[in-house]
Structure 1
Amino acid sequence: MEALRFTGSTQVLEYLEVPVPKITLPDQVLIKVAFAGVCGTDLHIIAGEFPFSNKGTKILGHEFSGTVVDVGSSVKNIQKGDRVAVDPNEGCRCCDFCHSGNPHYCNIGGIQNTVGIHRDGGWATYAMVPTNLVQKLPNSITLEQAALAEPLACLSHGWDMLSPVPVGSRILITGAGIIGNLWVSLLHLQGHKNVTVSEPNVTRLNFVKKLDTGYNLITPDQLTKNRATDPNYAFEVVIDCSGFCPAIQQGLSLLTKGGKLCCFGIPPPDQTITVAPFDLYAREITIFAVNVNPFSMVKSIGFIEAMGSRYIAYEKLGIQVFELKDYRKALDLLKSGSIAKAMFKL
């Protein structure tokens, strides 16, 4: 089968033929991959910026959907022919974090044991995963849409943390990549109208226009000018989807009293922002970050069903589809900001 494999020690990503995995354990599920996404985390891994990216050689791809072709002897919840999405994250199921319902904090599992990062993932014709990570799809969801289930599961976790957000709240989204576009879709679905999207790349802002939300689409320079001309220009909620520390810093400065900053994008581990604790106190600012998707895949499927093709359509979201062998072109376009997301069709 074809696969994209990454070696952390040499930072080499290679396209090659490898054997099809065979079921050796009773809880395993073999999936014929249909669609597999390229996440910003993948770009950090390939660049050697992700903290756990130097452990061995693995097939990347932690966002994928497909069809079950074989199952182990103890698998009961899934059968051959089922269409599925994959939750790549799980805990050890033994530690205090896991037992308290927070497997994403697990020091053994969690982000340190993710399918597509530390275990072979979906950038291949076939992928092998344990049955507890497989989410069966309803007939109302296509395999194309289901390939976004994992990032939307992360959004679902973030939405639970951010809520309640009263309709009418002034909301700023910084970064109009795929995550920013999915947040735009989620907020519009929930009835929010007073939303501003800040993005320096005009091409990406044009992708947001295709979602036809009527939101205010501006550049970071325009944000600065608006604040300079109106000292009361501020937001109740800022959601950073860029992972770019200057954008996070700007968003923090634009929060009104009682405001909330959601750090969703993943910044480089060596970058920092400056926060004055007295300012947090004086304005009662809340800052929180979102780490993956603990038990939120079911909610993600619910979001996809609710959004439907009104929002979850590749053309509207700026997603371009590639064959696996064209991965270099896909990564180059993604890095340049010419597309919001690259998706491999196997």
Structure 2
Amino acid sequence: MEAIVFNGKTKEVKYVSDYPMPKITKDNEVIVKVAYSGVCGTDLHIIQGEFPACNNRSFTLGHEFSGVVYEVGKDVFLKKGEHVVVDPNSQCLLCEYCRKGRYQYCSVKNSVGVWTDGGWAQYIVVPQDYVYPIPKEVTLEQASLCEPYSCVSHGFDRASPLSVADRVLVLGAGIIGNLWLTTLHLHGHRDVTVSEMNKARLEIVKQLDLGYRLVTPDVLANEKELYDVIIDCTGVAKVMEISLEYMKPGGKYVVFGCAPQTQRASIAPFEIFERELTVIGVKVNPFSFPNSLGWLRSMGSRYLDYKKLGIKTYSLSQYQEAIADLKSGSISKAMFKIE
């Protein structure tokens, strides 16, 4: 089958047309025929050696994807032909954190597309408990955004309560920034400012027709406005260092963008004390796929249109073009459309 293969040792990425077809070896496994599979910023960090992933063999990346049930083990409740999404994050269910419902802290490393074969391929085999049926109102194209929206859902829950009267600043207008913007709009937030240095990305946000204020970082620095909530989607440590100055007393700062492990930010603990600031980290999507699927059903084409979100589709063989376009900022997200 076709696949994009990543060598964890050499960090080499290549397209192959003869990757082994997955097989069911356990009664609870499902083979999914992948329809759409996204390129995440985490994938780029993995390729660049900036994010921990399997490094002792070659495997397929891709942890955001939708597809159709192709084959099932004898203990699987899903039916062939069902439209589904896959939660890539696994857990041991035995450790202290799993038993408290916080599996994002579990030390088991088995995430799909990070430690095991992922969705940058025509087919993938996963345990059935990773798989969620898609509501009939949601298309496979829209459902490909379920995993990133599930992470936003977890972040939204972590930051809640968020009042619609809050002044909100979203830093970064890549795809994650855009998903946060659509989420905020869906939940009634209208006093939102978006900061992005890439003006092409600000033009993409305009297509969403949300009515939000769009600025570049230099505008923020000059106007010295303060915000109740800041959501950092840049994954750049220096941005946090600078933007903490823009928080109102009692404000919440959501660290959502994934910065490389080596980056550091210098902050003044006194400012956190004096202004009673809350800094909120957000890691993956513990048990938030049901929320995400509900959001997708509510959002529909108003918010999930690929063109408006700045998403461009590619074949697997076009992976180099996809990654180059994503890095250039000319698109917000690259999505593999897999035949």
TM bucket, shorter chain: over 0.9
Identify the residue that residue 57 of structure 1 maps to in structure 2: 58
Please state how far the C-alpha of 1:218 moved relative to its aligned partner.
0.4
Match of 1:208 in 2: 205
- Over 3 Å counting, the alpha-carbon distance change for 1:159 and 1:276 in structure 2 is same
- Render the CA deviation track for 1:222-257: whole Å, top value 9, x for unaligned: 111111xxxxx2000000001012222222110010
Residue correspondence of structure 1 range 69-80 to structure 2 within 5 A: 69-76=70-77, 78-80=78-80
User: Deviations along 1:166-192, whole A, 9 cap, x unmatched?
Assistant: 112100000000000000000011111
Correspondence 1:172 to 2:169: yes
Letter in 2 for 1:117: V
C-alpha distance in 1 between matches for 2:245 and 2:119: 40
Superposed, which structure 2 residues align to 1:304-315 within 5 Å? 304-315=296-307
Report the AA paired with residue 189 of structure 2.
H
1:5 match: secondary structure = strand
Please report how far the alpha carbon of residue 55 of structure 1 lies from its aligned counterpart in structure 2 after TM superposition. Answer: 3.7
User: Is 1:290 paired with 2:291?
Assistant: no
The answer as to whether partners of 2:254 and 2:281 remain within 8 angstroms in 1 is yes
What displacement does 1:318 show? 0.4
Q: What is the match of residue 293 of structure 2?
A: 301
SS in 1 for 2:26: coil
Between the two proteins, what is the percent identity of the paired residues? 50
1:245 corresponds to 2:237? yes
Which of 114, 117, 122 in structure 2 is aligned with 1:117? 114
Q: Matches of 1:56 and 1:234 in 2, distance apart? A: 48
2:10 equivalent to 1:3: no
Separation in structure 1 between the aligned mates of residue 189 and residue 19 of structure 2, nearest angstrom:
47
Residue 253 of structure 2 aligns with which residue?
A: 261
* Deviation at residue 20 of structure 1 after TM alignment: 1.3
**2:37 matched to which residue of 1?**
36
CA distance in 2, matches of 1:99, 1:145: 32
Aligned residue identity for 1:203: A
In the TM superposition, what is the alpha-carbon distance from 1:57 to its structure 2 partner? 1.4
Secondary structure (helix, strand or coil) at the match of 2:117 reads coil
Distance 1:32 1:41 in 2: 23
Give 1:51 deviation, angstroms: 2.5
**1:276: Cα distance to partner?**
1.1
For the residue of structure 2 that corresponds to 1:123, the secondary structure is: coil
Q: Which deviations, in whole Å up to 9, do the C-alpha atoms of 1:73-111 show, x marking residues without a partner?
A: 1112x1101000000001111111111101110012xxx
Contact 2:237 2:263 survives alignment (8 Å): yes
**Equivalent residue, structure 2, for 1:230:** none
TM-score normalised by structure 2 residue count: 0.98
Greater Cα offset, 322-331 or 20-29: 20-29
Paired letter, 2:32: I
Cα shift at 1:278: 1.1
- Deviations 1:132-158, CA, capped at 9 Å, x for gaps: 000001110000010000000000100
Cα distance, 1:53 vs structure 2? 4.9
Task: Describe the SS at the equivalent of 1:161.
Answer: helix
- Amino acid paired to 1:116: G
Q: Please give the alpha-carbon distance, in whole angstroms, between the structure 1 residues aligned to 2:336 and 2:214.
A: 29
- What are the superposed Cα offsets for residues 6-48 of structure 1, whole Å, 9 maximum, x if unpaired? 0111010111121211111101100110000000000000111
Matched, 1:26 2:18: no
Alignment partner of 1:281 out of 273, 278, 281? 273
Q: Aligned equivalents of 2:84 and 2:134: distance in 1?
A: 5
Report the secondary structure of 1:270's partner residue. coil
Give CA deviations for 1:270-299 in whole Å, capped at 9, x if unaligned.
Answer: 111112111111000000110000000000
The residue type paired with residue 268 of structure 1 is P
The whole-number CA distance in structure 1 between the counterparts of 2:22 and 2:291 is 30
Q: Which whole-Å CA distance do the structure 1 matches of 2:243 and 2:106 have between them?
A: 30
Q: How many residues align?
A: 337
Work out whether residues 192 and 213 of structure 2, in 8 Å CA contact, stay in contact via their aligned partners in 1: yes
SS of the residue corresponding to residue 113 of structure 1 reads: coil
**Cα distance between partner residues in 2 of 1:130 and 1:166:** 39
Aligned-residue CA RMSD in angstroms? 0.8
CA distance in 1: counterparts of 2:240 and 2:90, whole angstroms = 29
User: Which runs of 5 or more residues in structure 1 are unaligned?
Assistant: 228-232
TM-score (norm 1): 0.96
Give, as a single letter, the amino acid of the residue that structure 2 aligns with 1:129. V
Judge conservation of contact 2:54–2:116 (CA < 8 Å) in 1.
Answer: no
Q: Distance in 1 between matches of 2:191 and 2:243?
A: 16
Paired with 2:290 and 2:216, the residues of 1 have a C-alpha distance of 35
| Unaligned runs of at least 5 residues, structure 2 | none
